[in-house]
Chains A and B, each alone.
Chain A
């Protein structure tokens, strides 16, 4: 009987448990009441939401030391250790979460495309739907401010810097040979098809200490982490064929992409101003393999490209045309692992190997060269708190280059660069953030050490606008062309100062940037061309300053997206064999791009126009006493494209560049010697054709029947 009583009593006791009242107020950082915050004792059902004054009040059966949880949308959830009996009329302060999408972003210098970037200037689709870009990532980036339109070259020239001052990275690992092979005054293209990349970040200065060996700019391409689905894409184009396939398994996926390009049929239909013996032909392919572990992802990327062409080029110094026969083979492999492990640590490790081989026949002479380039990288990220993140890592670059001219002249080098860096990301508040870092490197071939501090700050002045400032020192080993003849160099150096203002609201973005860039220790030589007996020095220098403006609007007119880029630049440099500090020939003082895309719903078509304009570029006229005193007429090109969706998975695509057929001149080649009248003759450098036409048919075969290749065009 006694036991029964005990039992009943105990049961009663547990039902009629004594209750304590907990009460208080929830406020934000400005001591304003937070309405609707969820307040409860961890591990119990006891809790309440705050009223319109931020007050809460509830009863609990819990006693003693407990965890009080307070959470509210877009605020950091906090857990406070409390003693239930003593927690009455207390105030709890919530902090705005800095992880939310509207926190300040360090923007100085950088353009991002991709869904991960919070302030996206370009969308992934833009790379390929920009008229005139013809699926070339580089051509689409040339519609952004800070870049120069150098039509006879095709590479990226950023803010008064040479093309090789931009370094390209795939998944954080350097690509030593990012461009296709070409010869004098025939523009090249980026090697990468936009097909496999989900994020692109293009920095025109002031970038992170993670990236070295780049004086002017870095281009970061990230492969997709995950394949969407199993699918096959077929492309039939006037210039060739393409085929790609993606297979997806439970934890891994594989994408393969191949293309065969042959300009012969196109050349037959629309003659170009190129005297081909054998028009351009290339076979290329790329593949990405991804494997997802529980706490990480492994990616491998490989690309190969074999190109050939044979042509006769006019040379003002030769009575007959010069025959150039080029064969290029290129292979690139890159693998990386990114993983999380305990205590908010993240590891990234990767390596790349690139092999580029050229065999060039110039009339009866043979030039052969080969470059092996590797990059090893190890990086750690530790999240110390929601506000402080620490990165540190190390890089090792290996380059081996050999060249052979007619099997008699040999040149080459082996260079190893080791670097370490560390950088901290600090959020002082949701409005104010900083990134501070330093990079130290050493190069064994030229026996030079480098020290590069970097810093950037961003401050949000209102809900939609912010200022950012970036400063950094950047160093780069002199280019291959010099290194193969000598190792008596210093690294070339640049200092960047950038002030950025950005306004972003909905689909409207305004971005303006002013910058100053100082160059020092640029390489100079004393001969007409770079050759084995050139005397080199690091006495060169220069500067670039300017204004970049970008405006994008997708709001004002339904179905119309457009952007306008304007760049003003004032730059001079004394390098190479220049006799004075002058503006180099690849620079236009004013550059303007207008890109429009209009979706016509009834026609299921996207129609786009791109207008590019740049003011005249300098050239050196030996008939004048002053060095680099000539100026070409201005450049203008209007391009058009039209994508028509035949059905959800079939697209017909048409594009034409320079519709108006504007006669553009990039510069002039002058004769080495005077003619009978004491004048140096010249020949204009012009595009190979006034217009370029392209027609393609793109067909996607997939399970869900929703995908198409619009994003690849």
Chain B
């Protein structure tokens, strides 16, 4: 009897603390990221990833933050290491959660980040790869607002250069705003970004 009670207690206790620790950790990491402290945020996500070996979210955020950092990097020497870090995190997340449209969107963004390093050389290949990821993501989940919006945003760049019609992309952005409005993340820590950027993009469309 005593052993049973002890085991139940330990089980509940580990469950309780794990749950709270996970939530605390994720909350803290998200907060650090919100404050612009990317290094600390990534470090926290890395710690969470070392415990939560079946949860794709910590690696997702490591990849996402590192990719965004490449776009804004002033210190160009850091870029190769950031690209590697983002790709590793995407690979880890994909092993845990294959066929995940959210991860595909980040992969497409990472390809775009590689593309802009040297558009003349990388344009052909990485442009194609990014489109492939967006198309795959939308095939799995046609209602994913981030896939819909990011794809349109990616295509708009090319269309402006070729002076071809940007109307279809603007329509897609408008549609993504509807999807954003109806989107409910599974947990507070699931990806939920993009609505405000889509609004801005729509304004510059007009």
Chain A interface residues toward B at CB < 8 A? 3, 6-7, 10-11, 14-15, 36, 38, 40, 42-47, 49, 69, 71, 73-74, 99-102, 115, 123-125, 228-229, 561, 599, 647-648, 702-704, 706-708, 710-711
Contacts and interface: CB of A to CB of B under 8 A. Distances in A.
Contact of B128 (A47, A73, A125, A707): A707
Given A38-B43, A40-B50, A229-B132, A14 B125 contact: no
A647 B25 CA distance: 51
Nearest to A9: B9
Contacts of A648: 158, 162, 164
Nearest to A39: B43
B202 interface: no
Contacts of A73: 78, 81-82, 85
A704 B128 CA distance: 7
B182 interface: no
A45 B47 contact: yes
A38 B158 contact: no
A704 B132 contact: yes
Contact of B135 (A228, A703, A707): A703
Given A49-B40, A647-B164, A704-B127, 8 more contacts: A11-B9, A36-B40, A44-B47, A45-B48, A73-B82, A561-B120, A704-B135, A707-B128
B26 to A, nearest CB: 10
A286 to B, nearest CB: 19
Nearest to A35: B39
Rank and list the top 9 A-B pairs by shortest CB-CB distance, nearest first.
A14-B13, A38-B43, A101-B80, A704-B131, A10-B9, A228-B128, A74-B81, A40-B47, A123-B121
Contact of A229 (B17, B50, B128): B128
Contacts of B78: 73-74
Contacts of A647: 162, 164
Contact of A14 (B17, B39, B82, B158): B17
Nearest to A704: B131
Contacts of B21: 45
Contacts of A101: 80-81
Contacts of B43: 36, 38, 40, 47, 49
A113 to B, nearest CB: 10
Interface in B113-128: 120-122, 124-125, 127-128
B10 A14 contact: yes
B179 interface: no
Contacts of A45: 21-22, 24-25, 47-48, 51
Given A38-B47, A73-B78, A706 B131 contact: yes
B181 interface: no
B12 A3 contact: no
- B interface secondary structure, majority: helix
B91 interface: no
Nearest to B162: A648
Contacts of A38: 42-43, 46-47
Interface in B1-58: 1-2, 5-6, 8-10, 12-14, 16-17, 21-22, 24-25, 39-40, 42-43, 46-48, 50-51
Contact of A47 (B24, B47, B129, B135): B47
B77 interface: yes
Contacts of A123: 120-121
Nearest to A123: B121
Contacts of B121: 115, 123-125
A223 to B, nearest CB: 14
Contacts of A706: 124, 127-128, 131, 158
B84 interface: yes
A43 B9 contact: no
B13 A11 contact: yes
B2 A6 contact: yes
A647 B8 CA distance: 69
B51 A15 contact: no
Given A14-B13, A38-B47, A43-B50, A102 B5 contact: no
Contact of B84 (A49, A100, A125, A229): A100
B81 A69 contact: no
A586 to B, nearest CB: 33
Contacts of B40: 36, 49
A3 B13 contact: no
Nearest to B24: A45
B94 to A, nearest CB: 13
Most buried by A among B5, B12, B43, B127: B43
B12 to A, nearest CB: 7
20 contacts: A6-B2, A10-B13, A14-B10, A14-B17, A15-B16, A43-B51, A45-B47, A69-B50, A100-B81, A101-B80, A102-B77, A115-B125, A125-B121, A229-B128, A647-B162, A647-B164, A704-B131, A704-B135, A706-B127, A707-B127
Interface in B147-186: 158, 162, 164
B2 A3 contact: yes
Nearest to A125: B121
